[in-house]
A and B are shown apart, each in its own frame.
Chain A
Amino acid sequence: MTPRERLAAITFVAALRERRYSRAVSDLLWARWMMGTSLAFHIVFAAIGVAMPLFMVLAEWRWRRSGSDVHLELAKRWAKGTAILFAVGAVSGTVISFELGLLWPRFMEFAGPIIGMPFSLEGFAFFTEAIFLGIYLYGWDRVSPRVHLASGVVVAVSGAASAFFVTLANAWMNHPAGFALVNGVAADVDPIAAMFPPGWAHEVVHVVISCYVATGFAVAGIHAWALRREPGNAFHRAALGVALGVGGVAALLQPLSGDFSARQLAVTQPVKLAALEGHFHTERGAPLRIGGLPDVDAAETRWAIEIPAGLSLLAFHDPGAEVKGLLEFPRDRWPLVVPVHLAFQLMVGLGTALAAVSLAFFWLAWRGRTGTPLLGRRFLTVVALASPLGFVALEAGWMVTELGRQPYSVWGVQRTSEAVTPVPGLALPFWIFTAIYVFLGVMVVVLLRRQIAHAPGGGDAPASVVVSGGRT
């Protein structure tokens, strides 16, 4: 081989390696996009599946107690909506349970035995939820009133239990526990300790509450919009009362849970907290930055409103406390600082706005008792505009925790790039599932619009009887 040929051969091999490398990188990205899209889609239906049964049961309970037909109609309509949304949630959740293996086989191989417990318990919660939802939806005239209402309660409780168990698994990914790492292999596995890793409580509470906030505001917004057109409609008023009542209480609790989370994070995942806050330099009396755009290369966050000592105060309840900055950690352990910071700001901003709307609602409702008209047109507009914000905040919060954990799939233990499947050509399944999700999303909106468009309660028209199971 002449030197020239050898050089050509080396260049060729290098080019091949490069290509294989870039293919691997792009497949990792497609895998992340696919998982992210599936979760972003599923999480909406999952959250609705947690909260909607509670609304539906509350409406039925009020009907059983007071005999108000509007609430019966409401329970039946909401049950139909729940049926549609739950079905999409169930099938998209199935996709996720398979995708964990299809996209991240090494993650599941490593983590399966450690965090299988919450997943199996979630399986049983899902079983009870599906069984009793079937009884609730199709059993209006087949079971006694008490059994029917109790079935609804079981659905609501097991829905919350599902969210509880699944979030435990995510909490473990953020703060792995319950095993020892020996030569890259998990030893001394203790599934019970892994089920309750440090910080599990704050994440679980935050996620479960977020389901009620997001769903409550989404539902309330739809009925507020309808009320703007038809101010006297008793059906929409009842709906708004239940949805905003639950959603409002949840929205007021959420900042407390967020504070609890931030304090946990400061101890368990300081680099994530630093990224959330766009906080680069370790300092005492660290300021709280509102908004702003982190510049990773210059190691500073520009154009933020700074509240002196605010971060120290929030993270440690001590204005003089030291908060570790990003520069404290090696660069390859930083999450994607800019998107994480922005998503966090978005979540907190929207959460605060929703808490303010809730305060206004409870104030107006309390004042309404003394005789003034309940909710004015202006307030209804605000509620209608706030309709999607809970879900935007929920998605942003999910991005905070997932992007904030990168580059790891299991924090500090397994990198996402180590977890990914060797299967090539992941772009194709990504586009297939994305197309399906877009299509399903559009269909769900169309269907729900049809359900809402024919809402009763506008005065003289008698509430039409809705036969169980959706056939009229």
Chain B
Amino acid sequence: MSAADLLGAVTLAAVVFYALLGGADFGGGIWDLFASGPRAKEQRALIERAIGPIWEANHVWLILAVVVLFTGFPRAFAAVSIALFVPLVALLVGIVLRGAAFTFRLYDGRDPVQRAWGAVFSMSSVLAPLALGTAVGALASGRLRFESGVPAGGFMAWLAPFPIAIGLFATALFAYVAATYLAVEAHGALRDDFRRRGIIAGVAVFAAAALALALAHGHAPLIFAALTGRGWALPFHAATGVAAIVAFYALSTRRVRLARAAAVAQTALIIAGWGASQYPYLVVPDLTLANASAPARTQELLLWALGAGALLLFPCLYLLFRIFKGDRPFAIVDGAPRRGAR
């Protein structure tokens, strides 16, 4: 495995963490938008409590992915920044408005102000994953072609059915993991609200995945071929399917911690599967890990820096979740309910 491959794997891992953590925060915003029923207010309050202490840390995974990309694969970063200018600007607008609106709502107690910021918060929470998913879908679609660094297909090549299907898929996926997290953090009737939402979002994930796969046949042939043809593909799909079934089963039988773990596994497998099916391309089909690479010395140093950083980072992250998400922040089995823990 070359330094470039390893760095590619690290980038993919950062994307997985971003989806599972930052993505779930966007998912929380989506459930804020769809808060309904007699407990709409409690739903919103739970989302706010769940996201509050951690969203800024979760957001840094995206920054890390960007930094690794431009340090380790500068050609790909430049090409992507040019060809995906429009969806990336949309993503930024979503990120800025989501973060600002969430904070402003938290610190201004007046009711009409809260409602206004709540609307901005929840709508930008839909915009950001939609834009991010569309950008990722465009990378895989093979529609971004470059001739001496300039996009041959123009600046709107990303606007096509397959990328947009991936945008919808990402939005559904983030809502789905968020619902399983929130079900763990809620109690009583509120927990049932989010269990039900988890099941609905799970169905939406399945539908979006089916749509994306159908479109991939014609619109992202390389990915489609890898997903259906490569040796690892079948066991991979099987594992993802098992995780999905376990998640559904656990959601409907109130085993919320198990459901959360299964949803996490499912999401990680889906993203890893995307990465594996796209390997060795960063941007299909012109840019690969090898031909977009920075000098080897840079990549090696970056790997060392990331390794050292991880040693610092993971204990700190554990501390954060340990403080705000209870005694067993990542447990799979539901223990005796502990009163007082949120």
Contacts and interface: CB of A to CB of B under 8 A. Distances in A.
A160 interface: no
Contact of B53 (A122, A134, A189): A134
B54 A134 contact: yes
Interface stretch (A102-110, A277-285, A350-358, A399-407): A102-110
Interface stretch (A88-96, A251-259, A382-390, A456-464): A88-96
B256 interface: no
B63 A94 contact: yes
Nearest to B74: A112
B308 to A, nearest CB: 8
B319 interface: yes
Contacts of B54: 134
A97 B63 contact: yes
Give chain A's interface residue range (CB within 8 Å of chain B).
Answer: 35 or more
A132 interface: yes
The secondary structure that dominates the B interface is helix
B2 interface: no
Contacts of A112: 70-71, 74, 77, 294
A341 B92 CA distance: 35
A123 B81 contact: no
B53 A83 contact: no
Given A119-B67, A422-B82, A124 B312 contact: yes
A102 B89 contact: yes
B100 A138 contact: no
A130 interface: yes
Q: Which residue of B102, B109, B149, B301 has the most chain A CB atoms within 10 A of its CB atom?
A: B301
A241 B83 CA distance: 52
Contact of A87 (B70, B74, B79, B103): B103
B78 A108 contact: yes
B323 interface: yes
Interface residues of B, number: 63
B190 to A, nearest CB: 18
B215 to A, nearest CB: 26
Nearest to B300: A191
Contacts of B294: 112-113, 116, 189
A133 interface: yes
Interface in B73-94: 74-75, 77-82, 85, 88-89, 91-93
Given A87-B103, A117-B302, A131-B320, A450 B297 contact: no
A440 B100 contact: yes
B334 interface: no
A123 B316 contact: no
B63 to A, nearest CB: 6
A423 B155 contact: yes
A376 interface: no
A372 interface: no
Contacts of B295: 113, 186, 189
Given A113-B298, A127-B57, A469-B53, 11 more contacts: A84-B107, A91-B95, A102-B89, A110-B74, A120-B302, A121-B305, A127-B60, A132-B316, A191-B297, A424-B155, A436-B93
21 contacts: A84-B103, A86-B56, A88-B99, A90-B59, A94-B63, A95-B95, A95-B96, A97-B66, A101-B70, A101-B81, A113-B294, A116-B72, A119-B67, A120-B302, A122-B67, A123-B64, A131-B317, A135-B323, A139-B323, A189-B298, A450-B108
Interface of B: 52-54, 56-57, 59-60, 62-64, 66-68, 70-72, 74-75, 77-82, 85, 88-89, 91-93, 95-100, 102-104, 106-109, 149-150, 155, 294-295, 297-298, 301-302, 305-306, 309, 312-313, 316-317, 319-320, 323-324
